[in-house]
Every structure is written in structure tokens, then in C-alpha cells.
Amino acid sequence: MAYDRFVAICHALHYTVIMNPQICRLLVLVSWVICILNSSLKSSMLFQLSFCTEVEIPHFFCELNQMIHQVLSDTFLNDMVMYFVIVLLVGVPLGEILCSYSKTVSFICKISSDQRKYKVFSSCASHLSVVSLFYCISLGVYLSSAATQSSHSSAVAHCCTQWPLSC
């Protein structure tokens, strides 16, 4: 979306050539492939770990980070892979969004008419608000799940595994 806004504002006359249906399909395909690869990587990491027969996670949903810290085996490699994937899947898109919007804002500042500036900023405002809400809420969820909470103050999810090992 940030790339779409960048092309629409900075290269308005070439928008239909740059953002053709093939590019849109490619962008959707790349996002689907990244999601599938991320899910496959996380699933394969979990299959290699040994769990207790019943694990209690003090959260409403079973987050991968919480599940990894409930295992019986060493999780150093899993933690490193998880942090690398987080930096890759969060840092790269955020960097691209910030780069795209910095170029867009620098282009907007060159516009002489205040009415045109307002129109261009209003077209970007909805995407910027969605992106900031997404990143702020995601950051809050991950930081709150990393904090220790009592079992009475948060919902409890019982994730029973099929491993024959017991605690």
C-alpha cells in the first residue's frame, strides 16, 4: 500500500504503467509465499521439540514464543531463528514503508498549493493510521505476552500435545 501511494503521488502520470495487474498479482503472491514459508518454518521448529504431556500457557492464545519456553529441550536455536524471522518480517516492511513515505513527504513538500498538499496528505492518512495501529498493537501484544502475568489476571489456554513424554 505504501508503494502504491508512492507511485500514485510521485509518478502519477505513470501509475497505470507501473502498477499494472501483473505487479499487483506478484505483490499478492509474494505476501502469500512469505506467510506460507513463515508458517512452515515455525511448524517445523515446533515438531523438533519435546513437550510435556500438558502445557499451561497463561494467555488467551498459544503464541509461538510462549510455547517454545514450555519445552523440555534446548531452545537456543529456535530463539535465534525466531528473532531473525521477526527482524526480517517486521523490520524490512517497516523500513520500506518508512522509506516510501519519506520520499512521498519530500515530494509533497515541493507542491506549492496548500489545497493540493491537503488532498495528497489525506489520501495517505488512512494507510498511515492503519500501519501505525498495526505496529503499535502488535508491539503491545508481544511486549505484554513477554511480561510475567499471574494465571488469575489472564486467560489460560491449555495446549495439550501428543508427545509421549511427561514432566
Domain range list for the chain: 2-160
Q: Which helix H or strand E contains 2, and what residues bound it?
A: helix 2-10
**In terms of pLDDT, which residue wins out, 115 or 60?**
115
pLDDT tier at 136, thresholds 50, 70, 90: confident
Closest by CA to 5, choosing from 74, 100, 108, is: 100
The reported pLDDT for the residue numbered 42 is: 85
34-82 residue pLDDT tens:
989 988 988 888 888 777 766 666 655 666 766 776 777 778 888 888 8
Instruction: Compute the distance between CA of residue 105 and CA of residue 103 in angstroms, rounded to an integer.
Output: 6
Q: What are the φ/ψ torsions at residue 161 (nearest 5 degrees)?
A: -105, 170
139-162 residue pLDDT tens:
777 666 555 444 434 444 444 444
Cβ neighbours around 32 below 10 Å, total:
10
Q: Considering the entire predicted model, what is its pTM?
A: 0.63
Instruction: Compute the distance between CA of residue 20 and CA of residue 39 in angstroms, rounded to an integer.
Output: 29
Mean pLDDT for the stretch of residues 105-126: 80
| Residue 126 Cα distances to 10, 105, 108, 122, angstroms | 18, 15, 16, 7
Mean pLDDT for the stretch of residues 107-118: 82
pLDDT at 16 over 60: yes
**In terms of pLDDT, which residue wins out, 29 or 110?**
29
What grid cell was written down for 155? 486467560
How far is C-alpha 56 from the geometric centre of its chain's CA atoms?
26
Instruction: Compute the distance between CA of residue 135 and CA of residue 127 in angstroms, rounded to an integer.
Output: 12
First to last CA, the chain: 48
